[in-house]
Structure 1
Amino acid sequence: MKVFSFVIAALTLAAGVSAVGIQKSVLFTYPRETPDWVVDQAKKAIEEAGGLITHEYTLIKGFAAKVGDKAIGTVSAMGEQYKVLVEEDQEVHIA
Structure 2
Amino acid sequence: MKLAIYSILLALLAICAHAAAPQKAVIVSYPKDTPDSVVDRAKTAIKEAGGAITHEYKLIKGFAANAPASILESVSAWGAQYNAVIEEDQLVYANGGGR
RMSD: 2.1
Is residue 93 of structure 2 the alignment partner of residue 89 of structure 1? no
CA displacement, residues 58-81 of structure 1 (integer Å, 9 cap, x when unaligned): 000000110011110110011010
* Paired positions, count: 89
TM-score by length of 1: 0.81
Which contiguous aligned blocks of 4+ residues in structure 1 show a shift greater than 4 angstroms? Answer: none
Equivalent-residue separation in structure 2 for 1:18 and 1:84 (angstroms): 31
Aligned partner letter, 1:72: L
Aligned partner letter, 2:86: V
Partner residue in 1 for 2:24: 24
What stretches of structure 1 of length at least 5 have no aligned partner?
none
What stretches of structure 2 of length at least 5 have no aligned partner?
none
CA displacement at 1:48 relative to structure 2: 1.0
SS in structure 1 at match of 2:93? coil
| Identity level (%) | 52
